[in-house]
Amino acid sequence: AKSLGGNCCQTFEPSFQEKMQLRMTIERHLRKAIELNELSLHYQPQIDTLNGRIVGFECLVRWDNSELGRVSPATFIPVAEETGLIYDIGEWALREGCLQNKRWQDEGIIHVPVAVNLSPSQFYDQKLKERIESVLAETGLDPAYLVLEITEGMTMHVQGSIAALKDLKALGVSIAIDDFGIGYSSLSYLKEFPIDKLKIDQSFVRGMKDHPINTAIVHAVQSMASCLGLDVIAEGVETEEQVEMLTELGCRTMQGYLFSFPIVAAQVPELSRNYANV
């Protein structure tokens, strides 16, 4: 029975038990997601706004389950992390992204890198390098056309992460720092780490209009990156006004709904034609 006179908002929030139930339901279905073919990748283009060309795609996993419907990666990736399912799901996404990119290249559809997201457990996995190496060998994708997206937090506090990154880079792949700016990176971090790109988190892009501090942060990131020879990608670009502000700040590579939602592979040929990439 519900107790009266308690917290008025209690009834609107799922209880701890309900959250645990949902988490277990997700886990139960997620265990079978790969074999049941429920996972797919969507691809979101990254645009060089100076010449209007597509310069890359980010691979974003999608999960459609018969009982749960489409579940957001923001919901199931954390569950996959906690349960260890992320190793298989992450490797599936890596293989699928590499395979698809190789296909696009072979078919003359588009010749740009794809970026795959790595979770913390994947990054800490001793076998990561081997796994990537074998996926590259299996799919025949040139490593120069694979970007690994990791977050700041994953590398910050870990002894040996510089060595781990150098090890990965020795494969010939590139490293991008995802959601850059919301962690705790310092200039010295950027100088020490063997990385190639910074992805400016969408919260800064969104906040530029109303809070000048966001513009200042984007500006600072952009100038640091230029000094260090790093590429910058602004994420979550939704308006022309944001394009103008970012351009003013010297940022030319952008990703966001203004250009395209994440799309299925079958839509990529037409998108590439529209962006005059072929």
Rule CB under 6 A: is residue 70 a binding residue for ligand C2E? no
CB 185 within 8 A of CB 161: no
Rule CB under 6 A: is residue 45 a binding residue for ligand C2E? no
By CB under 5 A, the residues from 223 to 242 that bind Ca ion are 235
Among Ca ion, ligand C2E, none, residue 175 binds (CB under 5-8 Å by kind): none
- Measured from the CB atom, the residue of 12 and 94 that comes closer to ligand C2E is 94
Rule CB under 5 A: is residue 152 a binding residue for Ca ion? no
Beta strands in 81-187 (DSSP E): 114-117, 146-151, 174-180
As measured in angstroms, the least distance from the Cβ of 117 to Ca ion is 5
Q: Which of 47, 60, 175, 271 binds ligand C2E (CB under 6 A)?
A: 60
- Measured from the CB atom, the residue of 29 and 235 that comes closer to Ca ion is 235
Rule CB under 5 A: is residue 149 a binding residue for Ca ion? yes
Which residues does 135 contact at the CB level (< 8 Å), separation at least 6?
91, 94, 95, 98
- Measured from the CB atom, the residue of 74 and 229 that comes closer to ligand C2E is 74
Q: Which of 45, 56, 113, 262 binds ligand C2E (CB under 6 A)?
A: 262
Rule CB under 6 A: is residue 74 a binding residue for ligand C2E? yes
Determine which helix (DSSP H) or strand (DSSP E) holds 70, and give its type and residue range. strand 69-71
Among ligand C2E, Ca ion, none, residue 60 binds (CB under 5-8 Å by kind): ligand C2E
Which residues does 11 contact at the CB level (< 8 Å), separation at least 6?
2
User: Residue 78, class by beta-carbon neighbours within 10 Å (0-12 exposed, 13-18 middle, 19+ buried)?
Assistant: middle
Rule CB under 6 A: is residue 37 a binding residue for ligand C2E? no
Position 140, amino acid: G
Q: Which of 38, 91, 152, 178 binds ligand C2E (CB under 6 A)?
A: 178
Burial pattern 105-120, b for ≥16 Cβ within 10 A else e, equals beeebbebbbbbbbbe
As measured in angstroms, the least distance from the Cβ of 11 to ligand C2E is 29
Minimal CB distance to ligand C2E: which residue? 256
As measured in angstroms, the least distance from the Cβ of 151 to Ca ion is 8
166-173 long-range Cβ contacts below 8 angstroms, 24+ apart: 166/194, 167/129, 168/128, 168/129, 168/132, 169/194, 171/129, 171/132, 171/133, 171/136, 171/143, 172/142, 172/143, 172/144, 173/132, 173/143, 173/144, 173/146, 173/147, 173/148
Candidate ranges 16-24, 29-37, 68-76, 183-191; the one touching ligand C2E (CB under 6 A): 68-76
Q: Which of 110, 179, 259, 271 binds Ca ion (CB under 5 A)?
A: 179
Among Ca ion, ligand C2E, none, residue 181 binds (CB under 5-8 Å by kind): none
